Amino acid sequence: MELRNEERRQILRGQHAHLRRTIEAAQTTARSALAGKASPGELQFAVTALERELLAHLAEEERLLEPILARLDAWGPTRVSLLHAEHAHQRAVLAVLTGRSAWPASTLVAGRTLSMCDDLIIDMEFEERELLNERVLRDDLIVLDASDA
């Protein structure tokens, strides 16, 4: 059964809410690592948890949004391309942060984890404003702000 766009929005907004909690935990651990209060193992655990949850979310977001965004309007293909670009960047950074060579450099990993977490929050805010809102992802065929002239 095909999901309605409202259901897609609810699923992804729910994932964003959960992901924000995971991001907060990663930020707390990264700050503690920078202050010498968290071990490299604790940081690795937090970053790995972030990776696991974010990768699952990215796959679900692509599955739910790509077919809709691609045919939504004249900007659909651009929206899909931007989504792919952002997700590719996030996957690449996560691969470095969770790679074997990252763990001798826990201070560097902690700093970059904080930066990535900030980027993720900004990205989710953008998605909620520009992709997951009722004006863009609608279930009806009414075009808002359109005129007949």
**Is 120 a domain residue?**
yes
Domain span at residue 82 reads: 5-130
pLDDT at 86: 96
What does the pLDDT look like over 45-94, one tens digit per residue?
A: 999 999 999 999 999 999 999 999 888 888 889 989 999 999 999 999 99
The answer to whether residue 19 scores a pLDDT higher than 90 is: yes
Closest listed residue to residue 46, CA positions, set 17, 21, 79, 83: 21
Is 139 contained in some domain?
A: no
Q: What is the pTM of this model?
A: 0.87
What's the rounded Cα separation, in Å, for the pair 144 and 78?
20
131: confidence class by pLDDT, cuts 50, 70, 90: confident
Tell me what the mean pLDDT of segment 104-130 comes to.
94
User: Is 35 within the bounds of a domain?
Assistant: yes
Considering the domain boundaries, does residue 140 fall inside one? Answer: no
Total domain count for the chain?
Answer: 1
Note whether residue 100 is domain-resident.
yes
